[in-house]
């Protein structure tokens, strides 16, 4: 109890020490409601500030959080849209994003620069103290420029330009809500590790105990080996959901992992994809925090118990403590110090193994002796029998079963016996189950196999195989066209050496699965070697090449599709763990608006983020194709996303750069953007001498690549185009009052593929 109290007091101290003593003026007066917090996930970067709700509206005054001077001004159609950077007198920086307008003294300078450059895009750095601002002074108006709905993005950065969590560095918001737990994930970290008896990732739902104000699991997962925990949880505020400020995980009361999101370097911000579960977010849009440090993750956010890096190794704990059940506690905190925990137990137990089976005949029936391995007592042993020709498994009863000898604490020699009058060959399969419900793999035996005769000697024994590679392991699934007398001998030949599998399992009467540890970095010339005996006692020796394209963290690699029409090249240092590149040709979707050139290609693995950009290429051979209109697009949830259009027409190749792998195809885009003048309409009149000219500009495929792709002129003079690519709306306003009478409007829009549309209109200003 005393230990619990000390831990609780320590956590309170740590929470308090996480906040500094700065006191900043809140940037909005109308709202302290947040829509996103520091450290939230964004594609390949952490959210580096807080987002403040403006209730779907624009135009609220935005204030300087502290005295300082305007350091930088940025304008773009994308990202922060209109962004303002202040250098504060305390040495820090403040950043304001998605503004609709700047304060008049800043707005005047910006418009002059944009008109002078005839470019909306601006990245202007100012001299020190050229434009001073005081604490609480209005510096702009909230808007929705760039990405997202109307809101204000606000950041604090230290003197080295590193983002700081505003909520622990002088900005506060009212928050009394505690975090919420939703799901727990347990992931085996190697092929020798299991969750509930399987080498598979498992996800469990948390339940809430209202009396104890804590979350728990309704079942007790069983683990063995080295596993990593992940948790799906979030904070609540104003009926919205946010990321967590810090997480702590305890095993039997001892801290083994913690993370706290207070500051981040831009250079390593992409590692948010290693901090969270990239695969689950990409495939199922789930946000899981890893309670371990992924290989390749060098973020300075974590505290772990060395050398485990947050991973739980059951053999280490089991040897030191001996008991099988262990308590896990996970605590989640928001930046205001509100916390909530999840408590559950993990059972450390490996599933039973049947190491060997040998059969013989006795006066009482068929007898089998086997060596079984288990950390707890074997509770059940099941036995099924099937004829060889037409597989039909039936459960049978042993007439006798006993332990012959106990070889060790976890090994025992068992004897089974059953009655069978069959003289024909038949198959049996045996499975062991322990008291925790964990089951062994089936072990198979061929009984009376010596009496099998081959009725068709011309029928040769052959097999098919599929292979996969993940986390340094090569898995090979074998499927034979005939039953074998016994398990075959399977090896991998790599160069001059042969390698045995680290695990070998018979999956059914004709199928097997072998797993190899691939420590070699060379993937060319790998052969699969199989030696065995058919059911007819014919010896077989088979060889197959295993196509691999391995890429290791400190080396690059490349791969081609079987038809050589798709390729990928990865430079050294882009992957954080070894991967095998595969490219599969697929049929393009049937219902599609745009012309697909060639085929759709699936690039694997899709669950690995890259630290930089890899190069993918697709080739074309259609004679009626216009190469200038070709580009690579990603197909994601039935939508196309532009990837790249770099071309080598000599070899008919189009290339692009990607941060992860997915499905890609070549598409031809020959359609120009759509332009429609909304106000003032062509030929109509307006009484406004400075009308907000509104235009719909939309492209249905390649989109716009730069701010220069859209141009507006009024009476021949360049206008500042305020374009929202999400709403596909452009608004521009004359600098000065227009004269009465007719005025000529001209809009030009060019997409990434060079398709140009020009629309002209006239409107009249009347009194």
> Which tokens go with 356?
């060997």
Whether the per-residue pLDDT at 443 is higher than 50: the answer is yes
Whether the per-residue pLDDT at 664 is higher than 80: the answer is yes
Handedness of CA 387, 388, 393, 398 (dihedral sign): positive
Q: Report CA 535 to chain centroid distance, whole Å.
A: 46
Q: Rounded to an integer, what distance in angstroms lies between the CA atom of residue 585 and that of residue 555?
A: 26
CATH of domain 551-668: 2.60.220.30
Coil vs helix vs strand at 68: strand
pLDDT in tens, 85-126: 999 999 999 999 999 999 999 999 999 999 999 999 999 999
Q: Is 419:426 a contact under the CB 8 Å cutoff?
A: no
> Which tokens go with 369?
């002796």
Whether the per-residue pLDDT at 10 is higher than 60: the answer is no
Average pLDDT over residues 60-88: 97
**Residues β-bridged to residue 99:** 142
Whether the per-residue pLDDT at 436 is higher than 80: the answer is yes
> How are strands ordered across the β-sheet holding 717-719?
684-686, 756-765, 741-750, 710-714, 717-719
**Residues β-bridged to residue 646:** 655
The lowest-confidence range among 5-9, 30-34, 500-504 is 5-9
Whether the per-residue pLDDT at 322 is higher than 70: the answer is no
- Specify the CATH architecture of the domain 674-765: Sandwich (2.60)
pLDDT in tens, 444-492: 999 888 777 776 767 778 888 899 998 889 999 999 988 888 889 999 9
Say yes or no: domain 353-451 is CATH 2.60.40.380.
Answer: yes
Mean pLDDT of the chain: 90
> Which tokens go with 743?
């005025």
Strands 756-765 and 684-686: parallel
Q: Is 263:165 a contact under the CB 8 Å cutoff?
A: yes
Whole-prediction pTM value?
A: 0.91
Please state, as a whole number, how many other Cβ atoms lie within 10 Å of the Cβ of residue 20.
11
Q: Is 381:401 a contact under the CB 8 Å cutoff?
A: yes
Average pLDDT over residues 392-399: 84
Q: Report CA 728 to chain centroid distance, whole Å.
A: 29
Q: Rounded to an integer, what distance in angstroms lies between the CA atom of residue 85 and that of residue 97?
A: 9
More confident: 544 or 361: 544
Average pLDDT over residues 576-589: 91
Q: Rounded to an integer, what distance in angstroms lies between the CA atom of residue 11 and that of residue 303?
A: 14
pLDDT in tens, 715-765: 999 999 999 999 999 999 998 999 999 999 999 999 999 999 999 999 999
More confident: 718 or 321: 718
Confidence band for 7, pLDDT divided at 50, 70 and 90? very low
Whether the per-residue pLDDT at 214 is higher than 60: the answer is yes
Confidence band for 5, pLDDT divided at 50, 70 and 90? very low
The lowest-confidence range among 33-42, 47-56, 158-167, 469-478 is 469-478
Q: Rounded to an integer, what distance in angstroms lies between the CA atom of residue 253 and that of residue 231?
A: 18
Nearest to 142 by CA among 25, 23, 29: 29
Q: Rounded to an integer, what distance in angstroms lies between the CA atom of residue 99 and that of residue 83?
A: 7
Report the range out of 130-134, 323-327, 348-352, 419-423 with the highest average pLDDT.
130-134
More confident: 455 or 45: 45
Average pLDDT over residues 504-510: 92
Confidence band for 13, pLDDT divided at 50, 70 and 90? very low
Confidence band for 11, pLDDT divided at 50, 70 and 90? very low
Average pLDDT over residues 42-66: 97
Whether the per-residue pLDDT at 520 is higher than 70: the answer is no
> Which tokens go with 25?
């003026």
Residue written as tokens 């948790």? 231
131: DSSP letter: S
Instruction: Give the rounded percent of residues in the chain with a pLDDT score beyond 90.
Output: 71
Whether the per-residue pLDDT at 417 is higher than 70: the answer is yes
Structure confidence at residue 722 (pLDDT): 96
Whether the per-residue pLDDT at 175 is higher than 50: the answer is yes
- The widest CA-to-CA distance across the chain, in whole angstroms, is 117
Q: Rounded to an integer, what distance in angstroms lies between the CA atom of residue 29 and that of residue 34?
A: 13
Average pLDDT over residues 654-663: 97
Q: Rounded to an integer, what distance in angstroms lies between the CA atom of residue 536 and that of residue 480?
A: 14
The lowest-confidence range among 89-98, 311-320, 559-568 is 311-320
441: DSSP letter: P
CA angle 508, 510, 511 (to 5 degrees): 65
DSSP string, 574-622: S-SS-EE-EEEEEPPPSS-SSEEEEEEEEEE-TT---SSPEEEEEE---
Question: What are the backbone dihedrals phi and psi of residue 307, each rounded to the nearest 5 degrees, phi first?
Answer: -100, 20
pLDDT in tens, 367-381: 888 888 876 678 888
**Residues β-bridged to residue 663:** 602, 635
Whether the per-residue pLDDT at 3 is higher than 70: the answer is no
Q: What is the CA radius of gyration of the chain?
A: 33
Whether the per-residue pLDDT at 321 is higher than 50: the answer is yes
Whether the per-residue pLDDT at 654 is higher than 90: the answer is yes
Where is 281: in which H helix or E strand? helix 278-284
Decide if 353-451 and 674-765 have a common fold: yes
CATH of domain 463-548: 2.60.40.1930
Nearest to 601 by CA among 628, 615, 583, 622: 583
Average pLDDT over residues 22-27: 91
Nearest to 545 by CA among 462, 475, 467, 461: 467
DSSP string, 223-251: EESEEEEEEEEEEEETTEEE--SEEEEEE
Q: 415 Cβ partners below 8 Å, 6+ apart?
A: 367, 368, 369, 400, 401, 402, 403, 404
Q: Where are the domains of the chain?
A: 20-168, 180-348, 353-451, 463-548, 551-668, 674-765
Q: Rounded to an integer, what distance in angstroms lies between the CA atom of residue 332 and that of residue 180?
A: 8
Confidence band for 323, pLDDT divided at 50, 70 and 90? low
CATH of domain 20-168: 2.70.70.10
Report the range out of 427-436, 549-558, 597-606 with the highest average pLDDT.
597-606
Q: Is 636:588 a contact under the CB 8 Å cutoff?
A: no
Q: Is 587:600 a contact under the CB 8 Å cutoff?
A: yes
pLDDT in tens, 121-160: 999 999 999 999 999 999 999 999 998 899 999 999 999 9
CA angle 748, 751, 754 (to 5 degrees): 90
């Amino acid at each position: 109890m005393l230990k619990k109290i000390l831990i609780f007091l320590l956590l309170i101290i740590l929470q308090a020490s996480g906040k500094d003593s700065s006191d900043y003026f809140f940037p909005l007066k109308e709202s302290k409601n947040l829509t996103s917090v520091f450290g939230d996930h964004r594609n390949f970067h952490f959210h580096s500030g807080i987002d403040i709700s403006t209730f779907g509206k624009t135009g609220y005054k935005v204030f300087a959080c502290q005295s300082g001077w305007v350091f930088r001004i940025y304008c773009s159609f994308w990202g922060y849209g209109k962004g303002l950077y202040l250098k504060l007198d305390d040495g820090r920086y403040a950043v304001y994003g998605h503004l609709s307008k700047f304060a008049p003294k800043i707005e005047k300078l910006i418009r002059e620069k944009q008109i002078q450059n005839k470019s909306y895009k601006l990245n202007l750095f100012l001299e020190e103290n050229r434009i001073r601002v005081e604490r609480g002074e209005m510096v702009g108006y909230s808007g929705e420029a760039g990405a997202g709905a109307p809101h204000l993005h606000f950041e604090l950065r230290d003197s080295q330009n590193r983002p700081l969590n505003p909520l622990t560095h002088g900005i506060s918001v009212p928050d009394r809500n505690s975090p919420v737990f939703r799901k727990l994930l347990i992931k085996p970290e190697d092929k020798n590790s299991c969750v509930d008896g399987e080498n598979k990732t498992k996800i469990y739902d948390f339940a809430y105990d209202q009396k104890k104000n804590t979350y728990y699991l309704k079942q007790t997962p069983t683990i063995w080996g080295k596993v990593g925990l992940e948790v799906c949880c979030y904070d609540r505020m104003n009926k919205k959901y946010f990321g967590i400020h810090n997480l702590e995980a305890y095993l039997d009361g001892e801290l083994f992992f913690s993370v706290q999101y207070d500051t981040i370097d831009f250079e390593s911000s992409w590692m948010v994809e290693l901090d969270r579960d990239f695969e689950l977010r990409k495939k199922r849009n789930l946000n899981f925090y890893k309670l371990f440090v992924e290989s390749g993750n060098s973020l300075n956010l974590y505290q772990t118990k060395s050398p485990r890096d947050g991973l739980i190794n059951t053999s280490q704990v089991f040897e030191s403590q001996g008991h099988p059940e262990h308590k896990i506690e996970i605590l989640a905190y928001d930046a205001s110090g509100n916390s909530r925990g999840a408590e559950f137990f993990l059972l450390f137990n490996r599933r039973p193994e049947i190491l060997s089976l040998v059969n013989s005949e006795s006066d009482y029936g068929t007898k089998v002796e086997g060596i079984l391995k288990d950390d707890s007592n074997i509770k059940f042993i099941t036995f099924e029998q099937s004829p060889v020709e037409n597989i039909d498994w039936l459960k049978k009863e042993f007439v006798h079963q006993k332990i012959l000898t106990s070889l060790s604490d976890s090994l025992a020699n068992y004897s089974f016996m059953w009655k069978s009058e069959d003289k024909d060959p038949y198959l049996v399969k045996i499975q062991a189950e322990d008291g925790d419900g964990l089951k062994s793999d089936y072990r198979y035996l061929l009984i009376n196999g010596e009496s099998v005769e081959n009725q068709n000697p011309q029928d040769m024994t052959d097999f098919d195989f599929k292979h996969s590679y993940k986390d340094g392991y090569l898995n090979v699934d074998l499927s034979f066209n005939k039953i074998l007398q016994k398990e075959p001998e399977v090896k991998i030949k790599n160069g001059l050496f042969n390698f045995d599998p680290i695990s070998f399992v018979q999956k059914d009467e004709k199928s097997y699965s072998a797993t190899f540890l691939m420590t070699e970095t060379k993937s060319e010339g790998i052969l699969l070697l199989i030696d065995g005996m058919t059911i007819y006692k014919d010896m077989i020796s088979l060889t197959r090449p295993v196509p691999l394209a391995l890429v290791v963290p400190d080396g690059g690699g490349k791969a081609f599709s079987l038809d050589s029409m798709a390729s990928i090249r990865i430079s050294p240092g882009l992957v954080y763990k070894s991967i095998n590149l595969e490219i599969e040709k697929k049929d393009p979707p049937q219902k599609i608006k745009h012309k697909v050139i060639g085929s759709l290609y699936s690039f694997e693995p899709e669950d690995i983020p890259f630290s930089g950009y890899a190069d993918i290429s697709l080739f074309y051979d259609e004679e009626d194709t216009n190469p200038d209109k070709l580009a690579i697009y990603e197909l994601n949830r039935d939508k196309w996303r532009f990837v790249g259009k770099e071309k080598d027409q000599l070899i008919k190749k189009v290339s692009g750069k990607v941060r992860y792998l997915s499905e890609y195809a070549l598409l031809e885009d020959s359609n120009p953007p759509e332009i429609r003048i909304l106000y003032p309409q062509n030929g109509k009149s307006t009484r406004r001498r400075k009308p907000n000219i509104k235009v719909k500009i939309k492209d249905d495929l390649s989109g716009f690549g730069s701010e220069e792709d859209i141009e507006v002129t009024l009476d021949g003079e360049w206008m500042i185009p305020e374009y929202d690519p999400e709403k596909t709306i452009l608004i521009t306003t004359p600098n000065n009052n227009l004269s009465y009478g007719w005025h000529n409007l001209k809009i030009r829009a060019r997409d990434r593929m060079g398709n140009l549309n020009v629309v002209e209109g006239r409107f009249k200003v009347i009194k």
